[in-house]
Amino acid sequence: MKTRRAWHYVTLDATGTLIRLAESPGQTYLRFWEAASDQSFSSSRRAALAAALTSQFPAEFSFQSRLRPNFGSNGVATSAFSWWRELVLNLMKRVGVADCIKVNAEQSERFTNQLYAHFARPEAWKVFDDVRPTLEKLQTSGVSIGVISNFDERLEPLLIELGLRSFFNVVTTSFGQPQMKPHASIFYSTFQKLQHEDGDVKTSKFLHVGDHLIKDYEAAKAVGANALLICRSCQEAKPLEMLDRIETLQQILL
């Protein structure tokens, strides 16, 4: 993509592009575990454990994803709860907080249920400051907007609670699809719904914006769409043309 231009269709990633966690995973997990159990930690111990949980989260997420891809979606499951429950309990044990099940099964169930519900609520998330102004401008300009996210069934209700859902013509989560990003099918499926035309999807009319080099930028380019990598906190694995890298969402309007 050599120049910015008016877009027919824009699709956006969710986490890291539209929204972010209000606090680190480790902080949240510990807070809910202390509330659900009889355990309590000193400030210094809590800080150390929270840091360990957060740093170990990506490895546990990758392991669980290999074991049960796409949040355990199998075309039948209606919730990713069991997938996240296993991840969280394994992570707690891995960093030495507790073997939650052995400590108390009832506390374990209360902890994981409350935690899962928390991440479906708006207070668990922050909307980036540039999101609403950008979406308002795109919508006013007649651009059809969609979301393509590796997320579970909680995303669409969450977007409603955050006051964002009305901006989007389509919200696609990987949990409701056969494959996660970067698979081409999740892009084609969303593009087809946005296009409202019969025949082949005209991918050159689409812009996809996300914060992951492979799952967003390279995946969108691979299907023939335009793509921008938003670098709020991402670190590219290889150089990109400056025009393909943005720091704020509002830059897609330039």
Model pLDDT, residue 246: 92
DSSP 42: -
Using alpha carbons only, what angle is made at residue 212 by residues 219 and 228, rounded to the nearest 5 degrees?
A: 70
Give the separation between CA 15 and CA 180, rounded to whole angstroms.
14
Of 4, 150, 33, give the one whose Cα is nearest residue 96.
Answer: 33
Q: Which helix (H) or strand (E) covers residue 2, if one does?
A: none
Longest dimension (CA), the chain: 62
Of 1.10.150.720, 1.10.760.10, 3.60.70.12, 3.40.50.1220, the CATH number of 23-123 is: 1.10.150.720
Model pLDDT, residue 1: 42
What are the sequence ranges of the domains in the chain?
9-18+128-253, 23-123
Of 197, 234, 241, 189, give the one whose Cα is nearest residue 216.
Answer: 234
Model pLDDT, residue 207: 97
Model pLDDT, residue 236: 52
9-18+128-253, superfamily in CATH? Answer: HAD superfamily/HAD-like (3.40.50.1000)
**pLDDT, block means (10 residues), the chain with 254 residues:** 68 98 97 89 93 97 95 87 96 82 78 97 98 97 96 98 98 95 96 81 93 95 96 61 83 87
Q: Classify strands 125-127 and 19-21 as parallel, antiparallel or unpaired.
A: antiparallel
Model pLDDT, residue 5: 62
Tell the residue number behind the tokens 């000193």, with chain if given: 42
Q: How many angstroms separate the Cα of 174 from the Cα of each of 36, 121, 181, 186, 225?
A: 31, 20, 7, 7, 19
Give the separation between CA 231 and CA 91, rounded to whole angstroms.
28
What tokens does 14 get? 């969710």
Model pLDDT, residue 239: 55
CB-based contact 7:144 (threshold 8 Å): no
Q: By CB neighbour count within 10 A (0-12 exposed, 13-18 middle, 19+ buried), where does 51 fall?
A: middle
CB-based contact 10:246 (threshold 8 Å): no
Give the separation between CA 208 and CA 244, rounded to whole angstroms.
11
